[in-house]
Amino acid sequence: AQIEQADFVKSSTTTEQCPSDGLPEFAFVGRSNVGKSSLVNSIVRRKKLALTSKKPGKTQCINHFRINDSWYLVDLPGYGYAAAPKEVRTDWSKFTKDYFLNRSTLVSVFLLVDASIPAKKIDLEYASWLGQNQIPMTLVFTKCDKRKRKKNGVKRAEENVEDFQGLIREFFDATPPWIMTSSVTNQGRDEILLHMAQLRNY
Ligand code: GDP
């Protein structure tokens, strides 16, 4: 299930503008700095698949990358960037919500959560919104190479992961699938691709 080809297709600001060829897609989303660009580049095995620019304000698009001519990897704007102007922030959430609710070819949202820190309110809110709206979600924990050991009372990555899952459980009928990853060690890379292949063939 390796990635042979990855082509940028287009940036859209509304769901209607998104590609209409009906290929299945997976949307990557997470807090700014969660490690989304690093992870996507690790998955496609490229140093720089030109993801959304890192500058807040330039990242307000739904970006479609066609993979192996058979599915889309969709890069959504990072959320929770405090320095972005308020109007821009509400705009992002408006169009990403519309995308989640109306994009019929969306197979699963890959919600990225930093496993090296305790659960953040904004991530819990995001996950619970997806659950309450019955949007299929896969939890992708990032930076699992950090916090391998318990030190000075700081929790290990596994403990943060368990805490997060426990906190969102009430919003889902079934516990969402989850994958632990690191773009430093490439942990989880094959698992993500395998999981996507399984979801596509389902
Ligand atoms: P984005 O804003 O979500 O695209 O995040 P980036 O991919 O730019 O990563 C944000 C920061 O986290 C950078 O300093 C990365 O080097 C670091 N980072 C990203 N992924 C990992 C990881 O798996 N392990 C570690 N230790 N650091 C990471």
User: Which CATH number do you get for residue 93?
Assistant: 3.40.50.300
Ligand 1 neighbour 186 (Cβ under 6 A)? no
Structural domain boundaries, residue 147 = 6-200
- Whether 184 lines ligand 1, by a CB cut-off of 6 Å, is yes
Rounded to whole angstroms, how far apart are CA atoms 200 and 202?
A: 6
| Cα-Cα-Cα-Cα dihedral sign, residues 71, 124, 11, 13 | positive
Cβ–Cβ < 8 Å for 164, 126 = no
pTM > 0.90: yes
Q: Establish if 87 belongs to a structural domain.
A: yes
Within a domain: residue 1?
A: no
Count of domains forming the chain: 1
pLDDT of residue 152: 78
**Residue 82 lies inside a defined structural domain of this protein:** yes
Determine which residue's CA is closest to atom 12 belonging to ligand 1.
35
Structure confidence at residue 55 (pLDDT): 47
pLDDT along the chain (202 residues), means of 10: 85 94 97 92 73 53 92 90 64 82 98 96 94 96 89 88 94 92 95 96 78
Q: Is the ipTM of this complex over 0.95?
A: yes
CB of residue 142 inside a 6 A radius of ligand 1: yes
What's the pLDDT score for residue 4?
86
pLDDT at res. 153 = 80
The reply to whether 115 falls in a domain is yes
Say yes or no: CB of residue 145 within 6 Å of ligand 1.
yes
Closest CA to 160 of 177, 137, 142: 142
Say how far residue 26 (Cα) sits from the centre of its chain. Answer: 8
The predicted pLDDT at position 58 comes to 45
